[in-house]
Structure 1
Amino acid sequence: MTSHRPVKGVILDVDGTLVDSNKAHAQSWVEAMKEHGYDVPFEKVAPLIGMGGDKVLPEVLNISKDSPEGKKITESRKKIFKEKYFSTVKAFPGTAKLLHHMHDQGLKLAIATSAEPDELHEMLQLIEPNIDQLFEQKATSKEASQSKPDPDIIHATIDLIGLDPDQLIMIGDTAYDIEAASKASLATIAFRSGGWSDRDLKGALAIYDGPEDLLNHYAESPLSRGI
């Protein structure tokens, strides 16, 4: 019989994992780039969502996020997302219930996201008012110099939550989440809700459609039976 280590904490991604925002972010990047003279197809940007702007801009335009041009595009993206697309973003079914259930089971919850702090707060409010009180810690772009798939944000979150990697599990929706977690010695549960295929998410311990699917199968999941 295989021995499983109990899970004591969960590190969660937000975009594409808890809220249905990946397409909105991709469209915001496309329009921001176009505003500054770069005509980039949506199909080129969409697979990069899950990385931060420090990865998206060099990958698509070969410019740094911290360059004058990069800063202008980044600010435009933020403005476009807030004014045009934020109202279209919704939490996935079962998100609030899953978070409350994990919290009630005694798990420490933390966020690891490439989003900026103000954007994260607004995203969490879409799930449920005051839902952020369930999280012990929230690591954002401010805590990491490099976004996923580099492990900086995961390392920062581990330090903040105060548990060993073998006591934690990551929940995310992209191959970048799995890669970043793996580099930080964390196991991963993946959701299909971000639009990635099972083949893309193959490094995960288990794959579910989204928060509601995991909640419905919680008893058999790594969260309950251990890693």
Structure 2
Amino acid sequence: MTAGPPRGRRRAAVLFDVDGTLVDSVYVHTLAWWQAFRQAGYDVPMADIHRSVGMGGDRILARLLPADRDTDRDSEIMTSHAAVFSTFWPSLRPLDGARELLERCHDGGLAVALASSARERDLDVLRAVVGGDAVIDAATSSADAKESKPAPDILVAALKALGVRASDAVYVGDAVWDIYAAGNLDIPAIGLTCGGTSEAELRDAGAVEIYASPRALLDNLADSAIGELAARVRRS
């Protein structure tokens, strides 16, 4: 778990997924998993992989591979995925408005945390891509959670790092697994379709609002669940 520069305690927070929410990397992960599966002798359709991205690697394997497989090879497959994904690090780009969205949340009096299922090394790279370290109060990776999304462990770790209650938080993510994780804690979740998941799927999963991208959310921030949270903090 990592934190940003020390600053005064904030009473409410916005938690963000990273892959597909702040960084345009979902389809890179899809390709990396597809290649890792093929190297291990499994032919898994990319469409199935894409719909699983957002879970932790352990859950992706359990969801997509045969139950009677040799699970001793699971770590090898996850290592292959990590190796392929790392070759794309130099090409990763933030989604439009990502850094500005983090800054606006911070300027509105809210703590900002990254609550991601990414490996710690990948998360370091993704943070650098976003470029918002000056306003990020905490960041959690797969190392901070016993169970990966859709379990809420990573969000719990982020809230603990910030000292903020679930009732004083909003979560932003791009996958149904993000929305389910937030729902397990009764945290309002905002869905972004820039990760390739449809508005209907995100809404069915429980998202309270849907936007196309960080930029679209930023343009409507005052009227969003984040804007409502910031207004509540100002009134208190």
TM-score (norm 2): 0.87
Deviations 1:169-221 (A, max 9, x none): 00001111111111012111111111111111111121111110011111211
Across the aligned residues of Structure 1 and Structure 2, the Cα RMSD in angstroms comes to 1.9
The question of 1:53 aligning with 2:57 is answered yes
Q: Is 1:209 the counterpart of 2:228 in the alignment?
A: no
Matched with 1:152 is: 153
Give 1:132 shift: 2.3
Alpha carbons 1:19, 1:127 under 8 Å: kept? yes
Question: AA paired with 1:171?
Answer: V
1:113 aligns with 2:116: yes
Tell me the residue number matched to 1:97.
100
Matched, 1:39 2:43: yes
Matches within 5 A, 1:78-227: 78-83=82-87, 85-128=88-131, 131-202=132-203, 203-226=206-229
Percent identical among aligned pairs is 33
Q: Which moves more between the two structures, 21-30 or 190-199?
A: 190-199
Distance in 1 (alpha carbons) for counterparts of 2:104 and 2:153: 28
Deviating runs (4+, > 3 A) in structure 1? none
Shift of 1:161: 1.4
Q: Give, in angstroms, the shift of residue 127 of structure 1.
A: 1.7
Shift of 1:56: 0.4
Supply the AA of the counterpart residue of 1:119.
D
In structure 1, list runs of 5 or more residues that go unmatched.
1-6
CA contact under 8 A between 2:113 and 2:137: conserved in structure 1?
yes
Task: Select which of 44, 48, 62 maps to 2:66.
Answer: 62
Aligned length: 218
Residue 133 of structure 1, CA deviation:
3.3
> CA–CA distance in 1 between the matches of 2:33 and 2:207?
28
DSSP 3-state at the match of 1:189: strand
Amino acid paired to 1:145: K
Secondary structure of the equivalent of 1:39? coil
Gaps of 5+ in 2: 1-10
State the Cα distance separating 1:62 from its structure 2 match: 3.4
Which residue is 1:25 aligned to? 29
Q: Is the 8 A contact 1:95 1:211 kept in 2?
A: yes
